[in-house]
Amino acid sequence: MAMDLNDPDLEFSDLVYAYQTWVMAVINDEKLDSEDKLLTEDITDDALNAMRFLPGEVTSAIETCLARVYDVDEDELASLLFPEE
């Protein structure tokens, strides 16, 4: 179920969770050789919507922390998340 940005109960933590979920799904699908693919269109859409409201420092911190946890090079992770850049 997609995140409703018009929901008055939507909190900052919901935005962080949406972005974090996307980063973890990309890492799972691209780097961990997992049989189960996690990335869905809803997860991607929620993350892109969350990015509109999250400061760059927050998204960067999420990416850095998860790259370290999953032992993924930060530059490689950035290229997986944003291949067009």
Residue 4 lies in a domain: no
Name the pLDDT band for 67 (thresholds 50, 70, 90).
very high
Residue 50 lies in a domain: yes
Residue 7 lies in a domain: no
- For residue 74, what are the domain limits? 12-81
Alpha-carbon distance 84 to 15, whole Å?
23
pLDDT value at residue 14: 95
Core vs surface per residue 60-76: b (16+ CB within 10 A) or e: eebbeebbeeeebeeee
Residue 55 lies in a domain: yes
Rounded to 10 deg, the angle between the 12-31 and 56-69 helix axes is 40
- When divided into structural domains, the chain yields a total of 1
Residue 2 lies in a domain: no
Residue partners of 53: CB distance under 8 A and separation at least 6: 5, 15
Residue 5 lies in a domain: no
pLDDT value at residue 32: 87
Question: If you ran DSSP here, which 8-state letter would residue 53 be given?
Answer: T
Residue 23 lies in a domain: yes
Residue 70 lies in a domain: yes
Summarize pLDDT for 38-50 with one digit per residue, the tens: 999 999 999 999 9
Name the pLDDT band for 82 (thresholds 50, 70, 90).
very high
Average pLDDT over the chain reads 92
